[in-house]
Structures are given as C-alpha cells and as structure tokens.
Amino acid sequence: MIRFASDEERAKRLATRAAYGPALIELASQGLPVVAVDADLSGSTTIGKFAASSEENARRTFNVGIAEQNMTDVAAGLALTGKIAFTGSFAVFGCGRAYDQIRNTVCYADLNVKICPTHAGISVGPDGGTHQMLEDIALMRSLPNMRVLVPADFAAAGAAIKLAARTDGPVYVRMGRAQVPCVYASDVDLEIGRAYVLREGADVTIIACGVEIDEALKAACALECEGIQAEVIDAFSVKPLDEETILASVAKTGCAVVAEEHSVNGGLGEAVASLLARQAPAPCEFVGMQDRFGKSGSFDELMVAFGLDSAAIAKAASRAMERKASS
C-alpha cells in the first residue's frame, strides 16, 4: 500500500538530487557493494555526502574529473569486479556526453551500472538551454537492457536509488535541481514496472512523471472545481511501462493527457501514445517541451513559459475530453 505525504510533509520542498548521497550511505550501511564514480560534481550531485560519511565510503568514491565518458567506463570496470556502480553528473553530460559509452559498454554488455544524473530538465533554471537536458528519457528508453525511472519527489528519488541498487543490470534514474513539494511518505517503497494511481477519477486520465506529478495533482484539483474528475497516474517507471494500469484507466475515462518535463519527442508521451495506438486508441493530449531548447530563468517561470504547469495540464485535459465527446 503506497502511503502519501502528510500535509506537513507536503509543505516541505526538497530537490530529488538531495536524496542521492543519503541513499548511497544507507545502501553501504546495509552491506551492499556500492561504489560512486563522479565527474567533479560531487557537491551538486550530493555524492560528496556519501564520500564524507566515512573513510570506507571515501574509498568507494572515485572522482575522474570532468570526463563523463571516462566516468562511465570506470563504472563499467568496477561493475565487472562485482560492484554496484553509480555514476553522477549533470544529465546533459552524464547521459548526453557519455551516450556512446552507456550504449556500447554498459548496455551492450548488460553491466550492473546505474546512470543517475542530476540537473535534468528545465529545473536547471538559470543555467539555460545548454544545460537543460530534455532528451535524456528518449535516449535512455531506446537502449536495450536499460530501465528508466523518473521519481516525483525526494522520497521517490531515494526509493529509486535503492531500487536501482537491488536491480541487476543498467538503470537510469532521472533527478533534478529544483526543490519540489513532497508527494510520497518518506518511507515509500516503489517497484520497477509499476505505475501508481494517486487520485481516482472517471472523466480523464492524467499520466505524468517527475516534477509534473505535483502539477498534475494541482490540475486535478482545479478540474474538480469544474465538475471534472481526473484520474492521476504516476508513471514512475517509464521503462518498463506499466501498461496494465494505464490501459485500465483509459478504458474507464476514455481519454488521456501525458505530462512530462521533457521533450514531447521520444519520452513518456510517445511511450503512452505507442501503447494506446497498439492496444486501445483513445484521444490523448501531450504536455511537454515542444521540440525546442530551453532558456535561462527560474524553474517556476520556465514551467509557465513553456506550458508545463498545472494550468496547461488542465487545458489539455479539457481538449482531450472535447475530442472524446466528438468521437
């Protein structure tokens, strides 16, 4: 049974990246052979907390400098010695710059390496379009052997890191810089291949991941004021996708919206669109970055500017319902 954050917990805002270092510390304390390979960003990724927690964990941490390709290959080598190897960098570098190594070294050999970059999406904010990685889910979900997890909040990010450690083979965990509200209780336990119905409804299904979960829940509240009951699903596991939960919801509501802080090309939206096209065609609207780069600004400003906020999701839900009514 999934437990959700209390009102007091929801008032807290924490970045998903903040869960990385503490989760590694907990895994090491449980005796798992975790190691962390960093590309000179241990403060930003919070891997530094792991290294500083004990002399033993300091020996388990390897800083290769600003060399993400090398970071990935070092992690692959450590995995071949029986270690559970985690990498850390900004998403634009940790999976973009190192894509060749992730593809041909980690995934091709199905190695036990966890690609867990932070600073994904437009939540990087003032760093601008060059650093706002909006294609990472598309890159990672297209790779054989790779699983893709996109946690909604601090608790889910911690659960994702622990889940990745206990899952053999490559796993991608997407984390962000911005502080976001808590959705789940601090001890939440999640599963690969599962999606979670956070709010039940009969009129429209809203499928989201990552920072869009809180926006989707806000949109559902706004829609309720208009007499519309929206069902909200956290597609935490983008790959493998929980097809059964999504299909059951859309069969009930007859239409859907997919919301993600990612390009509309190749991400969760296309995964859901493919599923519906193959098994149960239904009107579906997509909230995401519309085939463009980001720009500098605060996280909240950019969410509104690029149409990724709760108001945009509510409008998309209305469009989906109009299409359902006319079909």
Domain positions in the chain: 8-181, 196-326
Q: List pLDDT tens digits, range 37-48.
A: 999 999 999 999
Residue 30: how many CB atoms within 10 A of its CB? 11
Closest CA to 121 of 308, 291, 261: 261
Residue 112 has pLDDT above 70, yes or no: yes
Residue 87 has a pLDDT of 97
Residue 10 has pLDDT above 90, yes or no: no
Lookup result for tokens 């309720």: 224
List 9, 68, 135, 212, catalytic entry: 68
Contact at 8 Å (CB) between 35 and 172? no
* 310 or 187: which leads in pLDDT: 310
Local confidence band at 182 (pLDDT 50, 70, 90 cut-offs): very high
Looking from the CA of 132 toward its CB, the CA atoms found within 13 Å total 25
Specify the fold of 8-181: Rossmann fold (3.40.50)
Residue 9 has a pLDDT of 79
Q: What is the mean pLDDT of residues 100-106?
A: 98
Select from 3.30.70.250, 1.10.3720.10, 1.10.630.10, 3.40.50.920 the CATH code of 196-326.
3.40.50.920
Interior angle at CA 112, CA 111 and CA 118, nearest 5:
110
Q: Is 301 a catalytic residue?
A: no
Pairwise CA distance, residues 145 & 169, whole Å = 7
Query: Does 196-326 match 8-181 at the fold level?
Result: yes
Contact at 8 Å (CB) between 44 and 68? no
pTM: 0.96
Local confidence band at 30 (pLDDT 50, 70, 90 cut-offs): very high
Residue 2 has a pLDDT of 78
Q: List pLDDT tens digits, range 230-252.
A: 999 999 999 999 999 999 999 99
Handedness of CA 27, 20, 161, 35 (dihedral sign): negative
Closest CA to 89 of 52, 142, 44: 44
Average pLDDT, the chain: 96
Residue 271 has pLDDT above 90, yes or no: yes
Residue 7 has pLDDT above 90, yes or no: no
Residue 39: how many CB atoms within 10 A of its CB? 27
Residue 1 has a pLDDT of 66
Q: What is the mean pLDDT of residues 191-216?
A: 97
Closest CA to 237 of 137, 327, 118, 114: 137
Write the CA distances from 263 to 26, 120, 146, 292, integer angstroms.
Answer: 33, 12, 19, 8
What's 2's DSSP letter?
P
What's 6's DSSP letter?
P
